[in-house]
């Protein structure tokens, strides 16, 4: 009881600090994404990610693992008003096809600013034809902000890194979800990839360790030199 009150107070303190650093919009968007769109995120972690993105003002945003669209719709709101968005998702998670996807795609488009454009590819990120489709959609543009939240296996996240990070511009940001170890989900090994990779780059870590359960999730962001 006392412990959970202390945890809640710490979380509130972190959120307040993020609002002080990034303004109130990232918090508002993070709450909307989680409660209104079913984004699988924690408030302070997503607020901090959106705060960093807001500072960068990306013109090209790519997301691997869009799910219902909450994180991409929120990223669109901190991107440039004429940003290009690229969504890549098989939409077969957690089991079988994602029935809500066509409606979710329409909802993302409705949330975008009038001059923003989006290409949504319903493909497996690990296939060579998907990389070709991504390059064709980008039409020579470099990615400013890449969010990797697709296949969480070690091999899967390594492959997304190898295939798509070359498309990110120098100075661009690459974010990863689930960088925090979760013993209850041994298949998810983004934490291992993150530990091996982060020290080679300027990076930020947002891990709300006081969340009840205290395990898993967390967002890591690194900057391409």
Ligand X SMILES: C[S@@+](CC[C@H](N)C(=O)[O-])C[C@H]1O[C@@H](n2cnc3c(N)ncnc32)[C@H](O)[C@@H]1O
Contact pattern for ligand X over residues 166 through 205, marking x by CB under 6 A = ----------------------------------------
Shortest spacing between CB 159 and ligand X, in angstroms: 8
149 binds ligand X per the rule CB under 6 A: yes
Residue 56 makes contact with ligand X by CB under 6 A = no
- Listed in order, strand segments (DSSP E) in the chain are 60-64, 84-88, 117-121, 143-148, 168-177, 202-206, 219-223
Site membership for ligand X, residue 126 (CB under 6 A):
yes
125 binds ligand X, rule: CB under 6 A: yes
Site string for ligand X, 86-105 (x = CB under 6 A): --xxxxxx------------
Residue number with CB closer to ligand X (60 or 64): 64
Measured CA to CA, the distance from residue 216 to residue 79 in angstroms comes to 27
Identify which of residues 116 and 125 has a Cβ nearer to ligand X in the complex. 125
Contact predicate 27/47, CB 8 Å:
yes
Out of 26, 65, 218, 220, which residue is the one contacting ligand X (CB under 6 A)? 65
Paired with 146 in beta bridges are 62, 174
Q: Is residue 39 involved in binding ligand X (CB under 6 A)?
A: yes
Q: How far is the CB of 9 from ligand X (least distance, A)?
A: 26
202/199 Cα distance (integer angstroms): 7
Measured from the Cβ of residue 133, the count of other Cβ atoms closer than 10 Å reads 16
Q: By CB under 6 A, is residue 151 in contact with ligand X?
A: yes
Q: Which is nearer to ligand X, 18 or 219 (CB)?
A: 219
Q: Which helix (H) or strand (E) holds 47?
A: helix 43-56
Closest Cα partner for 68 from 103, 42, 26? Answer: 103
Integer distance in angstroms from the first to the last C-alpha of the chain? 46
Residues of this chain that interact with ligand X (CB under 6 A) are 39-41, 64-68, 70-71, 88-93, 124-126, 149-151
């Amino acid at each position: 009881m006392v412990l959970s009150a202390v945890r809640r107070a710490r979380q509130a303190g972190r959120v307040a600090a993020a609002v002080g650093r990034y303004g109130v919009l990232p918090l508002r968007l993070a709450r909307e994404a989680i409660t209104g769109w079913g984004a699988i995120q924690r408030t302070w972690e997503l607020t901090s990610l959106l705060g960093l993105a807001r500072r960068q003002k990306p013109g090209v945003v790519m997301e691997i693992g869009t799910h219902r669209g909450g994180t991409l719709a929120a990223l669109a709101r901190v991107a440039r008003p004429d940003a290009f968005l690229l969504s890549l998702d098989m939409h077969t998670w957690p089991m079988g096809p994602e029935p809500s996807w066509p409606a979710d795609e329409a909802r993302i488009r409705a949330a975008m600013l009038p001059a923003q454009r989006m290409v949504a590819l319903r493909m497996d990120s690990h296939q060579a034809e998907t990389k070709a489709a991504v390059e064709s959609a980008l039409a020579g543009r470099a990615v400013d902000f890449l969010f990797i939240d697709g296949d969480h296996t070690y091999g899967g996240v390594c492959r997304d890194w190898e295939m798509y990070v070359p498309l990110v511009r120098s100075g661009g940001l690459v974010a990863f979800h689930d960088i925090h170890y979760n013993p209850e989900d041994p298949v998810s090994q983004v934490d291992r990839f993150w530990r091996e990779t982060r020290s080679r780059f300027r990076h930020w870590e947002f891990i709300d360790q006081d969340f009840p359960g205290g395990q898993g999730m967390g967002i890591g962001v690194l900057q391409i030199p």
